[in-house]
Structure 1
Amino acid sequence: MTPNRPAPLPLDLDYLRHVLVELLEIPSPSGRTDHVQQYVGERLAALGIPSTLTRRGALSAYLPGPRTTGADRAIVVHTDVIGGMVKRLKENGRLELQPIGTHSARFAEGAHVRVFTDHLDQVVTGQVLPLKASGHRYNDAVDSQGIGWELVEVRVDEPVDDIAGLRALGIDVGDFVALLPNPQVTPSGYVKSRHLDDKAGVAAVLTACKALVDAGVTPAVTAHLLITVTEEIGHGASHGLDPDVAEIVSVDAAVVAPGQQSREDAATLAMGDGVGPFDYHLTRNLAAIARENDVDLVRDVFDNYRSDVAAAVEAGAHARVALLGFGVDATHGHERTHLDGLRHLTQLLCLYLQSDLVFPEWDAEPAGELVNFPSLAVQPAQEDGPREGPIGLHDLT
């Protein structure tokens, strides 16, 4: 049976933009994500979508489909971002940092930060600076200094010049340090900010859910939403997924850089990443949905990349997996994307949520007879053109 291909839905792009900026303004380095999860939970509740919270802080919600039995699907995004942690109180009254997540000290230099102490009402601001920060003092050595976390420090915005002064502020080793995003939306539609990865993805998913709710559309298949909080440190969707989930689509930043096809103004379908290829059938199905509905979608492969679904598969998830993205220039650095790309991604999510599973009957159970496997709905081109429609294994011989 060929999956249903519904029409696009109206999108509330003002909502997308508003939610994105609000998400960006909430500090959420991996390990300190309670505030941002509360925000997302409230946004889901406003749409009439209840959610629950796991012990490890992941949010789980779902949009019910018409079937009460069979397999479901899941959309996974993450709210945690890269950041830092106080590694050492320095004798000069400054702070040495340990990075949270994988990112370069090159892009941390100059960042304004908030240091969260154990006193909830005590937040100390500061800025990340290279050890040789004054051109008038170090001259050309400012340019020749190397790059590394041991070569930067946080200058706190308080009159302290020793360890005792830092402790008097309530600062201690292990305090979280959030890099402030400074989000900007330009008149031409570019969104510039730290932490677009993956808060732009969260905004797109929430907007897609709103589109279905506003239109009164029931998903073809029950769709679970999993909002994780440890993707940047590799754990991601290692827990919290419903056992009935047969398809998992992660939504995350796509790499815009030389040698990549991803664009800021388009959605991206990742065919593989640093962990390996994504599911052959699910990726081609997503590409077909986009093609049939004029969604601007490009395919790409990422080298130094892993997402929530990698953690899910490594934890034993028995499901087809895929990755959809929004093009981001300078990922994990001074990031930039475009509202057009987020629009295309959001529309593709709406279409996917309205479509059936790739193999609704086969994937209703975790395993089946090999002879009954229906193979892919779209096959590579033959001499007489592309082969359309489901085929059996005997057609491949």
Structure 2
Amino acid sequence: MSTPVIDDAYLKDILARLLATPSPSGFTDAVTRLCCEELTRLGVPFEITRRGAIRARIQGGRRKPARAIVGHIDTLGAQIKALKDNGRMEVVPIGHWSSRFAEGARCTVFTPEHGAFRGSILPLKASGHTFNEEVDTQPVNWRQVELRPDVVAASQADLEALGFNIGDFVAIDPQPEFLDNGFIVSRHLDDKAGVASMFAALKAIVEGEEPLAVDTYFLFTITEEVGHGASSVLSQDIASMVTIDNGAAAPGQNSREFGVTISMADQTGPFDYHLTQKLLRLCRDEGIEHQRDIFRYYRSDSASAIEAGADVRTALVTFGVDASHGYERIHIHALHSVARLIRSYALSRVEIGRDSQELSDLTGFTDLPMDPAEETPWDGRDEAPETPSGEGNLGGQN
């Protein structure tokens, strides 16, 4: 395999554009359009679901067992829960994040008929000059914050007259900084940084005109932060799916802000053994810096696909993020590394040819290194039978 060429300038540019496009779960049309426009520019065909999830396809030498790489373009956010008598608004979160990180956030409230309004999310007791030490002792939860819109409003009636209503979407400003030393600090790097790495890998594949063994899909989901994710965007041909998402670089975790972090398991259980081992092998073969981790309080597009009933091998590739679901930080080294691995996986051979069939007998079925005395455990390269469609064995793990 040739030396990968990942365009870091492009990666940062598409990331900046993604971050500049508000997309809390349930309010994602604009970011869907942005991604589709970029796919069109790259010359990659795509189709979108009714609600806006995207399925882009690069044609390979065979139709199946197809592969997929998936990331989500929705982010955390909030909605208006109530219009208050003081001219401010109660909010509830979209996705799982602490009100601790909402305090002080600048935001935009989108109203259907009156356009967008700017505002801030503040603690109920925001002034030390008024509340003294109570600003330090009030509880941390979503009932302890309120949204102060930057409008002239002193009552619920004033808010209603301006067009605010229960259910309006609130997008939190990302406030991105791209530092000269390679660090990137912003909200919503989960998972727009992963999506940027996907686009950088796509660009390298398209510009390199390198043939793929099988059809490879790049999927962009729109409801991962609320648990639905890849539940309805897979095709029947897809046999393996690699999810790209953030990893927690924090005490007690093995994730780092550099290289690739391969997740071995999350709160929903272990990832597919054979697909995960293949990704680790690709990292070693390609000289991609990497580490492994397990996440206790984490789920991703992989979980939603499996829970929806998809019989698909899943794995999770992450970029280590510090302060996930808060003011996040990542280094370009990790995003570059993830893009390299995506490209390497897309260009690699398929070894479990049997995966082209939804159901078959034991012929070509995978094996595990069970015997400690074995010197050469199964490496995924057994011969598989001719498929009913005549595609035959493709050699290589999915």
TM-score (structure 2 length as normaliser):
0.93
Q: How does 1:27-66 map to 2 (within 5 A)?
A: 27-66=22-61
The offset of 1:7, in angstroms, is 3.3
Decide whether the 8 Å contact of 1:374 with 1:391 is kept in 2.
no
Query: Paired residue for 1:92, among 86, 95, 106?
Result: 86
State the alpha-carbon separation in 1 of the partners of residues 374 and 367 from structure 2.
20
Q: Is the 8 A contact 2:66 2:214 kept in 1?
A: yes
| Cα displacement (A) at 1:243 | 0.4
CA distance in 1, matches of 2:130, 2:34: 45
Q: Label 1:351 to 1:380 Cα distance change in 2 as closer, same or farther (>3 A).
A: farther
Contact 1:115/1:178 (8 A) holds in 2? yes
* Alignment CA distance shift 1:372-1:380 (3 Å): closer
Runs of 4+ in 1 over 6 A off after TM superposition: none
Taking the TM superposition and a 5 Å limit, the aligned residue runs for 1:194-233 are 194-233=187-226
- Structure 2 regions of 5+ residues with no counterpart? 383-398
Query: Does the C-alpha gap of structure 1 residues 386 and 338 become closer, same or farther in structure 2, counting only changes over 3 Å?
Result: farther
2:364 to 359, 364, 372: 372
Q: Tell me the distance in 2 between the aligned counterparts of 1:100 and 1:238.
A: 18
User: Which residue is equivalent to 2:386?
Assistant: none
2:45, 2:58 within 8 Å by CA — same for their partners in 1? no
Deviations for 1:58-108, whole angstroms, at most 9, x for unmatched residues? Answer: 11111110114x310111111000000000000000010011000000001
Aligned to 1:74: 68
Map 1:1-397 → 2, pairs under 5 A: 6-68=1-63, 70-119=64-113, 122-359=115-352, 361-375=353-367, 379=369, 382=372, 387=377, 389-390=379-380
How far off its partner does 1:56 sit?
A: 2.2
How far is 1:389 from its partner?
Answer: 3.8
Letter in 1 for 2:191: D
**Which secondary structure does the structure 1 equivalent of 2:52 belong to?**
coil
The CA deviation at 1:388 is: 6.6
Contact 2:261 2:318 in 1 (8 A): yes
Kept in 2: contact 1:285–1:358 (CA 8 A):
no
Structure 1: gaps spanning 5 or more residues: 1-5, 393-397
Asked if the contact 2:84/2:155 (under 8 Å) is kept, the reply is yes
Listed one character per residue, the Cα deviations across residues 111-154 of structure 1 (whole Å, up to 9, x for unaligned) are 000000012x6211000000000011111110001100000001
The 1-side partners of 2:379 and 2:192 are apart by 37
Q: Contact between 1:223 and 1:353, CA under 8 Å: does it hold in 2?
A: yes
> Could you say which structure has the greater relative contact order, defined with CA pairs below 8 angstroms and 6 or more residues apart?
1
Aligned length: 382
Residues 20-76 of structure 1, C-alpha deviations (whole Å, 9 max, x = no match)? 0110111100000000000000001101012111112211111110114x3101111
Query: What CA deviation, in whole Å up to 9, does each residue of 1:184-226 have, x standing for no partner?
Result: 0111111100000000011000110000111111222211121
CA RMSD of aligned residues (A): 1.6
CA drift at 1:371: 5.0
Partner amino acid, structure 2, of 1:258: P
Aligned-partner Cα distance in 2 for 1:149–1:161:
22
* 3-state SS in 1 of match to 2:33: helix
